[in-house]
Amino acid sequence: MKVALTVWENRISPVFDSAHMLLIANIENKMVTSRHYEPFYPKLPLRRAAKLSDLGVRALICGAVSQPFANMIEAYGIELIPFVAGDVNQVLDAYLKDILSTPNFRMPGCEARRRSTDAATGDGGASRSGKIS
Amino acid sequence: MKKDTPHQIPRHVTETILESISDGVFTVDHKWRITSFNRAAEEITGITRQEAIGKHCWEVFRSNMCETDCGLRRTMKQGKAFIDTSTYIVNSEKFRIPVVVCTSLLKDENGTVIGGVETFRDMSLVEELRKELDARYQVGDMVSRSPHMHKIFAILPQVADSDSTILIQGETGTGKELLARAIHNFSPRSDKPFIAINCGALPDTLLESELFGYKAGAFTNATKDKPGRFALAKGGTIFLDEIGDISAAFQVRLLRVLQERRFQPLGATREVTADIRVIAAANQDLLELVKSGTFRQDLFYRINVVRLVLPPLRDRKEDIPLLAERFIVRLNGLRGKAVTGISHEALALLMSHNYPGNIRELENIIEHAFVICPEGEIEPHCLPETLMCPISRPTAHGTIDSALKSVEAQTILDALKRNNYNRLAAARGLGMHKSTLFRKIKTLGIELPAIDGRSNRKRFR
C-alpha cells in the first residue's frame, strides 16, 4: 500500500493546498519497503487529487487542508489523515505504529481524531462557521 | 514651570492594548516558535493561547503562504516590514479564512532583533460583502453590469411570478435561453420541467410531432405512443426558440394551442390540456416580420404579452471583463487548467472587438485562448488572429495607451448614438458624470453632429 506525506523542510507541510513535495512510502506488513520523493505542483483540487490517484496513493498524511481539496481527495477514495504535524520520519513511524492520533503529532487546535471520517466532522478547536471554503 | 517628559508606557498597558484590538497578533523567536498570542488571534484561528505558545508558527497560523512566501521569513531575512499581504489560513474545520497580514521585526530595548511580529486581520466579512456586491450583477447564470440588463434583472421576479407568456428578443448569442431558464427557475413552476425546442431547426411535420406528440399508428413506423414537448413540459415551461422561423401553416396551429391551451397529438381523437407556460424567443424583430406579412399579427400579439429585449454585447461592453472572468473560472474547472486571468493588452483587444456573435463569440474566444495558453494570464498571442487587427485600432504601431483611448472613444460614441446624441442620457448610460463625458469628448477629440437629444425634442414640439 502506498502512503503519501506532504513534506516541507523534512517536516509535514503546514497546508496541503500549497504543498510542493510528496514523500511516497510503500508499506507492506507495517514496514516501509521503499520510499521516494515526488514533486507535487498541480494547483487545482481536481488535479491534486488525480495526481495522488495516478501515483497509486491509498492514504494521505498532511497538515491543514481546506474543504475543496479534502472533498476531492475523499471523492477519489483516498484515506485522508489531516492536521498532522512534526518530523516526517517520526510521523511515518507513528503511522506504522498506529499512534498518529496522539497529541504529539496533532496540529494545535485540532483534537485527536480517527482518520478522515472523524476529521470531517470538524469538532476540534474553537467553533467558527460560515467561512468561505 | 515643570517641563513635560514623556511617560514610559508600562508593560501591562501594552498587553491591555494588544488584548483589546480586533487584529490578531503573535510574536515568534528566532526558531519560529510562538512567544505571544493575543485574544483576537485566538478568535480568528480558533486556537487557544496555551495551545499556540511554544509551537512552530506555521502549525498554528497555517497560511497557504507559510511554505512558499512566508512574510515573517522575508522580514527576518531582509530586515524590513511588509504590510497588507493577502492570503488565507485554514482552521481546524477546514474552512479558509481570508486574512491580510503585516510583518515586522521584534527588537528589544537595545535594538537587538529578538524575533518577528505578525498581525493579521480577518477579512471574512469583507469577502462576504464583496460576494453580495457581485450577486447584484447576477441573476441565475446571467451576469451583467449593464444598466439595461439591470432593468431586466429588476423586473425578472415579477415577470417570473406572473405566468404570462413572454417574448424574448435579441441577436443570436445574447443569452435568450439563459434568460428563459432564469425566468423558469424564479417561477412557481420551477420544480416542473423546462423544455426547450428550436423551432427554426425542424421542418413543419417534424416540429408538429415533436411539439404535439403522436399516437401509435398515426403514421408508418409510429409503433407506440410518443409524448410531445407540450406534454413533457406539463406543469412547467416550454421555450420556443427562433419562433420567427416557423411556417405560416404552423403559426396557425401554434396560435390555437396558445389561445385554447389545448392540443391534439397526431392520430389522437381527443384534445389534451396544455398546462404550460410559454416563453418564445426570436432573433429577428417580429414586428417587422408582421409588417412584411411573414408572421401572423394575431400570433404576435398572443406571444407579445411581456417583451424583454436583450442588448447585443457591443452595447454592453462593460460586461466583457466580467463575462471573460466567468468563462475562465468555468473552463479552469472543466478543463483542469490554471489560467489566472487576462492581461491588459489582451483585454484591450477584447474590448475593441465588435462581437457579431455576441456572448457566444466571446466564450469561443476564451475557449480558443485556453487551447493556446493553459496557465498564467491570457496574452494577446493566445487570442484568435481575427482579433489581432480590429477595425477600430488607431494605428499599426499604436501603444496600449492609444488602443485603450480608441476603445474609450468608440464606447462613448456608441453610447451617444444609442441616446440620439443626448449627452446627459449617454453619460448616465456610461455611468459617468456629464462633465466627465464632456471632458472626455474634448480630450479624445470626438467629433459630434450639430444636433443633440435636446435639440431633437425641441424640433418635435
Number of neighbours of residue B54 by Cβ within 10 angstroms:
12
Q: CA of A102 to nearest chain B CA: how many angstroms apart?
A: 15
Residue at which a domain ends, from B290, B311, B332: B311
Query: What are the pLDDT digits (tens) for B328-359?
Result: 988 887 777 778 889 888 898 898 888 999 99
- The answer on pLDDT for B212 being more than 60 is yes
Q: What range defines the domain where residue A26 resides?
A: 2-119
CA angle at B284 for the pair B245 and B196, rounded to the nearest 5° = 55
Per-residue pLDDT for B91 more than 90? yes
- Give contacts of B55 with chain A, Cβ < 8 Å: 108
**Do the domain assignments include residue B165?**
yes
Residue B136 pLDDT grade (very low, low, confident, very high; cuts 50, 70, 90): low
Residue B176: pLDDT above 60?
yes
Q: What is the arithmetic mean of pLDDT over A36-59?
A: 90
Average pLDDT over residues B281-285: 91
The whole-number average pLDDT for the span B182-202 is 90
Report the alpha-carbon distance of residue B180 to residue B164 in Å, rounded: 13
Element (H, E) at A62: none
Q: Which residues of A touch B56 (CB under 8 A)?
A: 85
Residue B299 lies inside a defined structural domain of this protein: yes
Cβ within 8 Å, pair A65-B94: yes
Do the domain assignments include residue A90?
Answer: yes
Question: Which pLDDT score, from 0 to 100, does residue B206 have?
Answer: 85
Decide if pLDDT at B180 tops 90.
yes
CB contact under 8 A, B67 and A15: yes
Same domain, yes or no, for B167 and B224? yes
- Give the CATH number, domain containing residue B91: 3.30.450.20
Which domain-ending residue is among B388, B408, B442? B388
Same domain, B118 and B228: no
What confidence tens digit (pLDDT) does each residue in B286-342 have?
Answer: 989 999 998 999 999 999 999 999 999 998 888 898 889 889 988 887 777 778 889
pLDDT in tens, B433-444: 888 888 888 888
Stretch among B29-43, B49-63, B402-416 having the lowest mean pLDDT: B402-416
CATH of the domain at B372: 1.10.8.60
The reply to whether B325 and B296 lie within a common domain is no
Q: What is the pLDDT of residues B146-168, one digit of tens each?
A: 888 888 988 888 899 988 999 99
- Return mean pLDDT, chain B: 85
The pLDDT score that the predictor gives to residue A118 is 39
* A126 has a chain B CB within 8 A of its CB: yes
Contact between chains at A127 and B51 (C-beta distance less than 8 A): no
To the nearest whole angstrom, how far is the Cα of B178 from the nearest Cα of chain A? 27
- Whether the CB of A10 is below 8 Å from some CB of chain B: the reply is no
A109: which chain B residues are within 8 Å (Cβ-Cβ)?
Answer: 45-48, 51-52, 60, 91-92
Q: Does pLDDT of B53 surpass 80? A: yes
Residue A17 has pLDDT above 90, yes or no: yes
Q: Does residue B339 sit at the A interface (CB-CB below 8 Å)?
A: no
Question: Looking at the structure, do residues B147 and B272 belong to the same domain, yes or no?
Answer: yes
Longest CA–CA span in chain A (Å) reads 44
**Residue A125 touches chain B, beta carbons under 8 Å:** yes
Residue A87 is predicted with a pLDDT of 96
- Residues B193, B279, single domain; the answer is yes
**Residue-wise pLDDT tens digits, B381-411:** 899 988 875 444 444 445 667 667 777 887 8
Which stretch, A61-70, B125-134, B216-225, B407-416, has highest mean pLDDT?
A: A61-70
What pLDDT, on a 0 to 100 scale, did the predictor assign at position B235?
Answer: 92
The neighbouring-strand residues paired with A60 are A4, A80
Contact between A109 and A124 under an 8 Å Cβ cutoff? The reply is yes
Which range (A4-13, A85-94, B39-48, B440-449) has the least confidence? B440-449
Is the CB of residue A76 less than 8 Å from the CB of residue A86? no
ipTM confidence score: 0.83
Give the best residue of A107, A111, A129 to mutate against chain B (max B CB count within 10 A).
A107
- Which residues lie across from B213 on neighbouring strands? B227
Listed residues B388, B411, B428: the one ending a domain: B388
pLDDT of B1 higher than 50: no
Smallest Cα distance from A25 to chain B, Å? 22
Q: What is the mean pLDDT of residues B28-35?
A: 94
What pLDDT score was predicted for residue B216?
A: 78
Residue B238 has pLDDT above 80, yes or no: yes
**Domain assignment present for B4:** no
pLDDT(B3) > 70: no
pLDDT at A109 over 50: yes
The CATH number assigned to the domain holding A115 equals 3.30.420.130
Tell whether B93 is covered by a domain: yes
CB B388 within 8 A of CB B330: no
Confirm or reject contact between B47 and chain A (CB < 8 A): yes
Contact B56 A85 (CB under 8 A): yes
pLDDT single digits (tens) B241-251: 999 988 888 89
Q: Give the number of domains in chain A.
A: 1
Q: Does B336 touch chain A (CB under 8 A)?
A: yes
In angstroms, the separation between the Cα of residue A44 and the nearest Cα of chain B is: 7
In the structure grid, which three cell numbers stand for residue B171, read together?
441577436
Gap from A18 CA to chain B (nearest CA, Å): 6
| Boundaries of domain holding B287 | 137-311
| pLDDT number for residue B4 | 56
Q: Are residues B107 and B27 in the same domain?
A: yes
Query: For the purposes of burial, counting CB atoms within 10 Å of the CB of B193, is it exposed (0-12), middle (13-18) or buried (19 or more)?
Result: middle
Mean pLDDT of chain A: 84
Asked, for residue A11, whether it belongs to a domain, the answer is yes
Give pLDDT, residue B43: 94
pLDDT of residue B390: 45
Min Cα distance A10 → chain B (Å) is 12
Q: Is residue B131 part of a domain?
A: no
Q: Is residue A129 part of a domain?
A: no
Asked whether residue B265 falls in the same domain as residue B230, the answer is: yes
Q: Give the CB-side neighbour count of residue B352, counting CA atoms within 13 A.
A: 26
Backbone phi, psi, residue A92, to 5°: -65, -40
Q: Which of B386, B388, B368 is nearest to B378 (CA)?
A: B368
Position B373 scores a pLDDT of: 82
> What is the chain B residue with the closest CA to A107?
B59
Amino acid at B98: P
Tell me if chain B has a CB within 8 Å of the CB of A87: no
pLDDT of residue B268 exceeding 90, the answer is no
Q: In this complex, do B95 and A133 lie within 8 Å of one another by their Cβ atoms?
A: yes
- Please tell me which of the candidates B92, B332, B333 has its beta carbon nearest to residue A125: B92
Question: Do B104 and B251 belong to one domain?
Answer: no
Q: How many domains does chain B contain in total? A: 4
A106 touches A84 (CB < 8 A)? yes
Q: Do A18 and B67 touch (CB under 8 A)?
A: yes
Put simply, the answer to whether A20 touches B43 (Cβ < 8 Å) is no
CB B193 within 8 A of CB B238: no
CA distance B214 to chain A (A): 44
- On whether both B73 and B38 belong to a single domain, the answer is yes
Computed from CA positions of residues B351, B357, B363, B367, in that sequence, does the dihedral angle turn out positive or negative?
A: negative
Q: The dihedral of CA B22, B28, B34, B36: what is its sign? A: negative
Closest C-alpha to B14, from B123, B117, B110, B111: B117
Residue written as cell 392520430?
A: B267
A-to-B residue pairs, Cβ atoms closer than 8 angstroms: 118
The answer to whether residue A130 sits within a structural domain is: no
Q: Tell whether A128 is covered by a domain.
A: no
pLDDT at B431: 79
Of A14, A65, A130, the CB nearest to B66: A14
* Pairwise CA distance, residues B244 & B394, whole Å: 39
pLDDT reported for residue B416: 81
Query: What is d(CA B241, CA B231) in angstroms, rounded to the nearest whole number?
Result: 18
Helix (H) or strand (E) holding A5: strand A2-8
Q: B368 and B293 in one domain?
A: no
Nearest by CB to residue B67, choosing from A8, A70, A128, is: A8
Q: Is residue B287 part of a domain?
A: yes
Give B-chain residues touching A105 at CB under 8 angstroms: none
Q: Does A122 touch chain B (CB under 8 A)?
A: yes
Q: Nearest residue on chain A to B65, judged by CA atoms? A: A18
Q: What is the pLDDT of residue B450?
A: 65
- The reply to whether B132 falls in a domain is no
| pLDDT score at A129 | 35
CB of A46 less than 8 A from some CB of B:
yes
- Residue A124 included in any domain: no
| SS3 of chain B | CCCCCCCCCCHHHHHHHHHHCCCEEEEECCCCEEEEECHHHHHHHCCCHHHHCCCEHHHHHCECCCCCCCHHHHHHHHCCCEEEEEEEEECCCCCEEEEEEEEEEEECCCCCEEEEEEEEEECHHHHHHHHHHHHHCEECCEECCCHHHHHHHHHHHHHHHHCCCEEEECCCCCCHHHHHHHHHHHCCCCCCCEEEEEHHHCCHHHHHHHHHEECCCCCCCCCCCEECHHHHCCCCEEEEECHHHCCHHHHHHHHHHHHHCEECCECCCCCEECCCEEEEEECCCHHHHHHCCCCCHHHHHHHCCEEEECCCHHHCHHHHHHHHHHHHHHHHHHHCCEEEEECHHHHHHHHHCCCCCHHHHHHHHHHHHHHHCCEEEECHHHCCHHHHCCCCCCCCCCCHHHHHHHHHHHHHHHHHHHCCCCHHHHHHHHCCCHHHHHHHHHHCCCCCCCCCHHHHHHHHC
For residues B305 and B319, state if they share a domain.
no
In a domain, B227, yes or no: yes
Closest CA to A66 of B126, B97, B129: B97
Mark whether B287 and B259 lie in a shared domain: yes
User: Looking at the complex, does the CB of residue B454 fall below 8 Å from at least one CB of chain A?
Assistant: no
